[in-house]
Amino acid sequence: MAFIHLDVGFLYTLLVCTAFGSMLSNAEIKVNPPQDFEIVDPGYLGYLSLQWQPPLFPDNFKECTIEYELKYRNIDSENWKTIITKNLHYKDGFDLNKGIEAKINTLLPAQCTNGSEVRSSWAETTYWTSPQGNRETKIQDMDCVYYNWQYLVCSWKPGMGVHFDTNYQLFYWYEGLDHSAECTDYIKVNGKNMGCRFPYLESSDYKDFYICVNGSSESQPIRPSYFIFQLQNIVKPMPPDYLSLTVKNSEEINLKWNMPKGPIPAKCFIYEIEFTEDGTTWVTTTVENEIQITRTSNESQKLCFLVRSKVNIYCSDDGIWSEWSDEQCWKGDIWKETLVFFLIPFAFVSIFVLVITCLLLYKQRALLKTFRDQKAEAFEITKKPFKSTSTFQTN
């Protein structure tokens, strides 16, 4: 009994000591936040570098691999992005239309402290592009379309109430370009830049594409606008072509078309089909370039369809529908219609022509006959005196 009592007492003391000991040792360990935390803009129109230096450090932690917890966001967004890293920099894309805030602390992992993880306080920083011009001077209605996954075209309207001398310029950058580039082929309206036709953009898919449209005017500063998108999400394909509609039997119909020509792989398309059966229209989608459908009535006389295409969710997050293709139709009871509209009139015309020909032939023969008769008669008449002379002579 006494042994058990002693044992419990010992355990209790041990527990208290360990708890207190670890509290004590943790309380002693403090770590500083990283130094020189800053956000650096290398001129890539939104792709920024967050960078810092290691914290001031007591010697006995030198062996430890320390980590940093980095949090950042655009100023009005709800959520922080959180990154744990051992590096001294981190890069990401930001919307430069807004400010950016970021904070970082030092993390000492548990194995360095003989206890639980230790964190420093936060070091914080913010970044704003130097704001110039008022909001109204920004361009409006920026619209960018990547036609057939080949040609990027952007267009915009000038800011409200900007002076007549205002002109805008477009700059772009994506990972792979050494520096941001200016548009080389502006779309001009009355001599002012209102859009840009981009050159061929090598390996530019599936990465952030940054655009800045800024401008200048003698009378007022112009506020730049920044845009970030991924090119595969703004693709507008060409419409499908070579549509064919085959009625296999009284019920089954096969619709087929060619996928649009160009660099977009077949597996990247989704098609929308608008099918009309005697005035009733319905719409369906498919990822194949062919579809079997059932006629709702085998009496239907007119079947038509047209197709448009878009890049599907296996190849992008979003896309723009192509224009509709030309319409392809099939008309029921072609035989009956052909009979009414073509064969019967044709038969009539043929018979008419035949009759006329016969008549003419008959007439011609009759005419020839009379002509020959007349000739014969005339011959007889001219011969008679001669004949009589000859008879006269011989006689």
Of 59 and 317, which CB lies nearer to ligand NAG in the complex structure? Answer: 59
Bridge partner list, 329: 304
- Binding ligand NAG by CB under 6 A: which of 66, 212, 293, 311? 212
Shortest Cβ 352–ligand NAG spacing (Å):
35
Among 13, 35, 53, 114, which residue interacts with ligand NAG (rule: CB under 6 A)? 114
142: nearest Cα among 121, 162, 157 = 157
Q: Under a CB-based contact definition with an 8 Å cutoff, are residues 233 and 310 in contact?
A: no
Query: Among residues 190 and 250, whose Cβ is nearest to ligand NAG?
Result: 250
CA angle 257, 262, 268 (to 5 degrees): 70
CB of 31 or CB of 212, closer to ligand NAG: 212
Helix, strand or coil, per DSSP, at residue 205: coil
CB of 351 to ligand NAG, least distance (A): 32
Q: Is residue 180 a contact point for ligand NAG (CB under 6 A)?
A: yes
Q: Please work out the total of residues on this chain that contact ligand NAG, with binding judged by CB under 6 A.
A: 11
Binding of residue 214 to ligand NAG (CB under 6 A): yes
Least distance between ligand NAG and beta carbon 6 (Å): 28
> Whole-number minimum distance, CB 348 to ligand NAG, in Å?
29
Placement of tokens 């057939």 in the chain: 148
* Backbone phi and psi for residue 324, each to the nearest 5 degrees, phi listed first: -75, 150
Give me the residues paired with residue 161 across strands: none
Report d(CA 382, CA 386) in Å as an integer.
Answer: 7
Q: Which of 106, 113, 232, 325 binds ligand NAG (CB under 6 A)?
A: 113
Nearer to ligand NAG, 99 or 221 (CB): 221
Is residue 55 a contact partner of residue 108, using CB atoms and an 8 Å limit?
no
Q: Pick the binder of ligand NAG from 171, 210, 227, 269 (CB under 6 A).
A: 171
Binding to ligand NAG (CB under 6 A) within 346-365 occurs at none
CA angle 130, 134, 135 (to 5 degrees): 100
Beta carbon nearer to ligand NAG, 229 or 324: 229
> In which residue are the tokens 């009733």 written?
280
- Cβ of residue 353: shortest distance to ligand NAG, in angstroms? 36
Interface with ligand NAG, residue 250, by CB under 6 A: yes
Helix (H, G, I), strand (E, B) or coil at 247: strand
- The residues, ordered by sequence, that sit 6+ positions from 319 with a Cβ below 8 Å of its Cβ are 233, 234, 235, 236, 237, 310, 311, 312
- 8 Å CB contact between 119 and 106: yes
Phi and psi angles of residue 89, each rounded to the nearest 5 degrees, phi first: -160, 160
Tell me how far apart the alpha carbons of residues 169 and 214 are, in angstroms, rounded to a whole number.
5
Select the residue interacting with ligand NAG from 121, 184, 258, 298 (CB under 6 A). 298
Give the residue with the Cβ less far from ligand NAG, 204 or 214: 214
Tokens describing residue 348:
């009539």
Terminal CA-CA length for the chain: 190
Whichever of 44 and 90 has its CB closer to ligand NAG, that residue is 44
Closer by beta carbon to ligand NAG, 49 or else 169: 169
Of the two residues 32 and 148, which places its CB atom closer to ligand NAG in the complex?
Answer: 32
Minimum CB separation of residue 105 from ligand NAG in Å reads 19
Among 13, 140, 184, 216, binds ligand NAG (CB under 6 A): 216
Strands of 43-163, DSSP E:
47-53, 67-74, 81-85, 89-93, 100-108, 118-119, 123-127, 140-147, 151-157
Give me the least distance between CB of 43 and ligand NAG, in Å please. 6
Considering only 80-88, 93-101, 210-218, 362-370, which stretch makes contact with ligand NAG by CB under 6 A?
210-218
Residues lying near ligand NAG in the complex (CB under 6 A) are found at 25, 113-114, 169, 171, 180, 212, 214, 216, 250, 298
